[in-house]
Amino acid sequence: MKYILQYMILVLFVGLGLATVIFFGNQLEAPPDIHGVWLLETNNISECTTLAQLDSPNTMQLSQSGQFLDISLGTSDEIRFSARFKEGQIDSPKDNSIHLVLDRQSTPYRLTGSLILPGCEAGIPVSYILQPAEKSSIEGLHP
Amino acid sequence: MIDLLTLLIQVGVILIAARVLGYLFRKIHQPQVMGEMVAGILLGPSFMGWIAPNVSAALFPPDSLNVLNALSQFGLLLFMFLVGLELDPKLLRGRTEATIIVSHASIVAPFVLGSVLALYLYPRLSNEAVNFVHFALFMGTAMSITAFPVLARILTERKMLRTQLGVIAITTAAVDDVTGWVILAIVVVLVRASEATLPFWIILPGLATYFLIMFYPARWFLEKLNSYTKKKGIITHNVLALLLLFVLASAYATEFLGIHALFGAFLAGVMIPKSNMFVHGLAERLNDLAVVLLLPIFFAFTGLRASIGLVNNLEMWFFTLLIILVAVLGKFGGSSIAARWSGLSWRDSSALGILMNTRGLMELVILNIGLDLGVLSPALFTMMVMMALITTFMTSPLLEWVYFSRILPNKPYPAAPADPSAHKLIPQESILENVLQEGEGPTETVPAQLAGSPSSQIQP
């Protein structure tokens, strides 16, 4: 009898627990999926020597863990920021080197704002557009 | 095109790192596998990529990693087959009500707590491409895993397999193992359903057919192979090849049906007749290759995917601590409270909780599946890997502190009474006959060998 009671409590615990979690969880909102390769639309790379010297100055790779972003410019990983996505905006809190606003109405998504890099300390206006996802054969590898 | 030179250097470096770290960890009374897991992390961007980025880039160029990935996946298939091989269904059949409660509580508590934690982590560490229900179920499953091989190794090394606590721990871990993989199979099917190439009306009858084949014709076939082997007195190369084909076919079927190849390999191991000759013979043949060569490659590959550099601010470290806290609270708390409620002493209940809290490489297997499915983000993957390492690392010292240091040096550990009715928690003695024989024989249990016990070298 004791074990039946214990088992019933266990079943009740998991049933109620999961139902509650799913009820509240379905009301949660996670950040949009912005992981991937972004391509620079603006034609002003020459305004920033650091950017112009990169292997592929037009590309920005964005690795996303929810609100937390790991951004690298070009393909050689020479310029890398840790940034945060909050309320539709990407900012790098440590050095303020990046400020981008996400346009979710645009298809595909578009990021517009500015980059502050050595050689263009005043900031260079940029606009990036998300490239169609190319599923990596191995997920989660870091440069 | 495979760059053979790069691959040879990669495998060489991985082997050296795994053996050296394994040795060092054994010196501090940790399982060898713990050192091998840490070696894998050190070879990745968390350490080598950070202190010597050029060396790291030269050693592990992105183009070369597909081969390494394939080798590590093959190693995992063999490993899961060996885990299934060791899992004796007798352990699952003869349980008392108390062990049922303890084993299920040790899954339910961390599962529910992991799902509750998902409420907090989802808006912060996931994105809208991931369905919340999938995320919550996956977090729950990842929290409920126990490393059966590491646990069996600790029990064997401490000569605890015959004790009351050892019996309950090994039985509970075996149940956890099977239940955890079943839950994960369901979660994987749910996640893959959205992108499945096969519709549900093919998957479900397909799975039913697969299980029918595994439980009837396949079992009959394996029994015939077992009888043939007994007559011959040795597992011949032809029999070994047939068994490997059986593992591959089972893995292919589950992968094709949208679960995961690892489930097929695991179930193939479970289906093997549990005669000592068959189990030991197969383990002897496959164990060394899987444990010494292929598993370290899997650890290195996991290390290449985990980057502690992604956990780069106080808030992220807070999430990591929270994950570890919830993992320990759920597994240790759930197991020990249920054990105490079922009649064990507080000390034994705590020791059981500590043992069940060992996650080891089984957790790494599940986390890699989560990352592959896209349910876990890179930073969350890294945090969960840290949780797996820390919960495994804490087992030995905590067990020493809570359990062994309290027992007088010359006093034997409390053994299981001969009469099963003397204590309600003791299952029938015959249930563990197989495990106990192996634990006291010249060789150790297969999981103990898998966990890299120093005395587990099998002579050919």
Residues of chain B contacting residue A13, judged by C-beta atoms under 8 Å apart: 108-109, 112
Which of B47, B132, B335 is the best substitution to test chain A (most A C-beta atoms within 10 A)? B132
Q: Are B337 and B350 in contact (CB under 8 A)?
A: no
Mean pLDDT within B344-358: 92
Q: Does B190 touch chain A (CB under 8 A)?
A: no
Which residues touch B390 (CB under 8 Å, ≥6 apart)? B324
**A-proximal residues of B, 245-304, CB under 8 Å:** 304
User: pLDDT digit string (tens) for B161-191?
Assistant: 777 788 888 888 888 888 888 888 888 888 8
Of A21, A26, A70, Cβ closest to residue B310: A70
Q: How high is the pLDDT of residue B178?
A: 83
CB of B65 within 8 Å of a chain A CB? The answer is: yes
Tell whether omega for the bond before B378 is within 30 degrees of 0, i.e. cis.
Answer: no
pLDDT score at B430: 34
Beta-carbon contacts of A125 under 8 Å, excluding residues fewer than 6 positions away, are A42, A44, A112, A113, A114
Closest CA to B98 of B164, B20, B28: B164
Say yes or no to pLDDT of B422 above 70: no
The set of residues, in sequence order, having a beta carbon less than 8 Å from that of B235 and lying 6+ positions away, is B229, B243, B277, B278, B281, B282, B285
Query: B115 contacts in A (CB within 8 Å)?
Result: 17-18, 21
Residue B375, CA distances (Å) to A16, B127, B187, B380, B436 in order: 24, 9, 10, 10, 40
Q: Does A7 touch chain B (CB under 8 A)?
A: yes
Residue B124 to residue A64: CA distance in whole angstroms: 11
Residue-wise pLDDT tens digits, A66-125: 999 999 888 766 788 889 999 999 998 777 788 999 999 988 899 999 988 887 888 888
In tens, the pLDDT along B361-377 reads 889 999 999 999 999 99
Contacts of B132 in chain A (CB under 8 A): 22, 25-26, 28, 30
- Tokens coding B306: 């985990």
Q: List, as ranges, residues 91-130 from A with C-beta within 8 Å of B.
A: none
User: Quick one: which of B172, B256, B195, B235 has its CA closest to B432?
Assistant: B172
Q: Are B178 and B92 in contact (CB under 8 A)?
A: yes
The pLDDT of residue B388 = 95
pLDDT for the residue numbered A53:
84
Q: What is the pLDDT of residue A140?
A: 60
Closest residue, chain A, to B117 (C-alpha): A21
Q: What DSSP letter does each residue of A18-87 carry, written as one string?
A: HHHHHHHHTT--PPP---EEEEE-SS-GGG-HHHHTSSSTTEEEEEEETTEEEEEESSS--EEEEEEEET
Cα B81 to the center of its chain, rounded Å: 11
A68 has a chain B CB within 8 A of its CB: yes
Work out the pLDDT band at B2, boundaries 50, 70, 90: low
Q: Is the pLDDT of residue B405 over 60?
A: yes
- The SS3 call for residue A121 is strand
Residues 6 or more apart whose Cβ sits within 8 Å of residue B444: B153, B156, B438, B453, B455, B456
CB-closest option in B66, B111, B127 to A137 = B66
- Residue B131: is its pLDDT beyond 50? yes
- Residue B415 DSSP one-character state: B
ipTM of the prediction: 0.90
Highest mean pLDDT among A25-39, A85-99, B149-163, B268-282: A25-39
Distance of CA A128 to the CA centre of its chain: 13
Helix axes B97-125, B378-393, angle to 10 degrees: 140
Cα-based angle A34, A36, A37 (whole degrees, multiple of 5): 120
- Answer whether B226's CB lies under 8 Å from B271's CB: no
Whole-number mean pLDDT of chain A? 86
Q: How far apart are CA B6 and CA A137, in angstroms?
A: 20
pLDDT band at A18 (very low <50, low <70, confident <90, very high): very high
The candidate with the shortest Cα–Cα distance to B307, out of B373, B374, B384, is: B384
What Å distances lie between residue B295 and A35, B289, B351, CA to CA? Answer: 30, 9, 28
Mean pLDDT, range B429-445, rounded to an integer: 38
- Evaluate if residue B451 carries a pLDDT over 60: no
Arithmetic mean of pLDDT, B101-124:
94
Using CA atoms, how far residue A98 sits from A33, A65, A66, B249, B443, in Å, is 19, 18, 18, 51, 60
What's the average model confidence in pLDDT over B295-307? 93
Q: Kindly state whether B105 is in contact with chain A, defined as any CB-CB distance less than 8 angstroms.
A: yes
Residue B1 has a pLDDT of 59
Query: Does residue B458 surpass a pLDDT of 60?
Result: no
Query: Is the model's pLDDT at B95 over the cut of 90?
Result: no
* pLDDT at res. B456: 38
Amino acid A134: pLDDT: 61
Identity of the residue in A6, A82, A139 whose CB atom sits nearest the CB atom of B374: A139
pLDDT of residue B434: 39
- If you average pLDDT over residues A44-69, what whole number do you get? 88
The DSSP call for residue B63 is G
Cα distance between residue B394 and residue B299, in whole Å: 19
Give percent of chain B with pLDDT exceeding 90.
54
| CB within 8 Å: B101 and A10 | yes
Q: Say if the Cβ atoms of A13 and B108 lie within 8 Å.
A: yes
Interface contact A142-B115, CB threshold 8 A:
no
pLDDT of residue B100: 80
Nearest CA to B59 out of B13, B1, B17, B2 is that of B13
Q: What is the pLDDT of residue A142?
A: 55
Q: What is the DSSP string of B72-112?
A: HHHHHHHHHHHHHHH--HHHHHT--HHHHHHHHHHHHHHHH
Q: Which phi-psi region, left, alpha or beta, contains residue B271 (left: φ > 0; alpha: ψ -120 to 50)? A: alpha
Contact A21 B111 (CB under 8 A): no
Amino acid sitting at position B43? L
Nearest Cβ partner of B118 from A3, A21, A29?
A: A21
Of all helices (H) and strands (E), which one includes residue B184? helix B164-193
At residue B109, the pLDDT reads 94
- Cβ of A21 within 8 Å of Cβ of B62? The answer is no
